[in-house]
Chain A
Amino acid sequence: DGGITQSPKYLFRKEGQNVTLSCEQNLNHDAMYWYRQDPGQGLRLIYYSQIVNDFQKGDIAEGYSVSREKKESFPLTVTSAQKNPTAFYLCASGDSPNSPLHFGNGTRLTVT
């Protein structure tokens, strides 16, 4: 079955540590996205990539980094510079403008 796989489902880290969230898709979509969701909030765009080896900052990119070395993969690193990293992180992909985004199951990150 085609879909988006995010791992791990839950992640716990100590403050000051970098952590990488995995996102893999087998939908053959060119575009991939990372969103962050805080309790009672909508989704806010962190980074997006429309093609391999290219990515752009979204609305809240500070403290995050990404790479897009393969079409299928778009990992997100939450660095120690991110001031409030505890959140629900969602990866999505899409195949064209105007088309719906498909979401992975999310990674819930807790930093203490």
Chain B
Amino acid sequence: QKEVEQNSGPLSVPEGAIASLNCTYSDRGSQSFFWYRQYSGKSPELIMFIYSNGDKEDGRFTAQLNKASQYVSLLIRDSQPSDSATYLCAVFRPNSNSGYALNFGKGTSLLVTP
């Protein structure tokens, strides 16, 4: 079982709609969760992070965490064409053999159509 799983997409939503991106993880000891946005040919940039169960909102973005279901999601409200990118879910597992490194999913490609 892959440690961090995401649907590769592409997820296509019309401009102004809500985009919902999902991620599941396998290690129940995972402590912190991050969403990065990556434009084609560029490096990842941090969008949101969440540590506790529930919702965390920042502008048009909301991260949702459910540790019991091992599930984290990112909602993008009022989606814009500029949101078209690949969204990477990353998880920190404190007892892994990778120090403080993050484990990444393969990413979900989002396309916002005008």
Q: Does B69 contact A (CB under 8 A)?
A: no
Point out the residues of chain B lying under 8 angstroms from A50, CB to CB.
99-100
Size range of the interface on A? Answer: 20 to 34
Is A41 in contact with chain B by the CB < 8 A criterion? Answer: yes
Across chains A and B, the number of contacting residue pairs, with CB separation under 8 Å, is 63
B88 closest partner in A (C-beta):
A42
In the complex, A74 has a CB within 8 A of chain B: no
User: Taking chain B's interface residues, is the majority helix, strand, or loop, or is none over half, making it mixed?
Assistant: loop
- List the A residue with the shortest CB-CB distance to B51: A98
Query: Within the complex, which residue of B45, B51, B94, B104 is in contact with A42, where a contact is CB–CB below 8 Å?
Result: B104
How many B residues have CB within 8 A of the partner chain?
A: 28
Of the listed stretches A14-22, A63-71, A78-86, A89-97, chain B binds A89-97
Instruction: Determine whether the beta carbon of A48 is less than 8 Å from that of B101.
Output: yes
A-B pairs with beta carbons under 8 Å apart, 8 shown = A45-B98, A56-B98, A59-B98, A97-B31, A98-B31, A101-B90, A101-B101, A103-B43
Q: Beyond A97-B92, A97-B94, A102-B46: 14 further Cβ-contacts under 8 Å?
A: A31-B100, A33-B101, A43-B104, A48-B98, A48-B100, A50-B99, A56-B97, A56-B98, A58-B98, A98-B31, A98-B32, A100-B46, A101-B101, A103-B45
